[in-house]
Amino acid sequence: MQDNPVTEPPTVAEYHAHVYFDDTSRAAAAWLREELERRFAVRLGRWREQPVGPHSKPMYQVAFTPSLLGQVLPFLMLNRHGLDILIHPESGLGHAGDHTVRAAWLGDRLPLDIAFLERFDAGDLPG
- Rounded to 5 degrees, φ, ψ at 2 are -70, -20
Contact 110, 19 (CB under 8 A): no
13-27 pLDDT tens trace: 999 999 999 999 999
Number of domains the chain contains: 1
The CATH number that applies at residue 32 is 3.30.70.1240
Q: Is residue 99 part of a domain?
A: yes
**Among 66, 53, 38, which Cα is nearest to 111's?**
53
Please state, in angstroms and rounded to a whole number, the distance separating the CA atoms of residues 30 and 63: 16
Each residue's pLDDT, cut to its tens digit, for the chain (127 residues) gives: 456 776 776 689 999 999 999 999 999 999 999 999 999 999 999 999 999 999 999 999 999 999 999 999 999 999 999 999 999 999 988 999 999 999 999 999 999 999 999 998 898 876 6
Q: Is residue 124 part of a domain?
A: no
Q: Is residue 3 part of a domain?
A: no
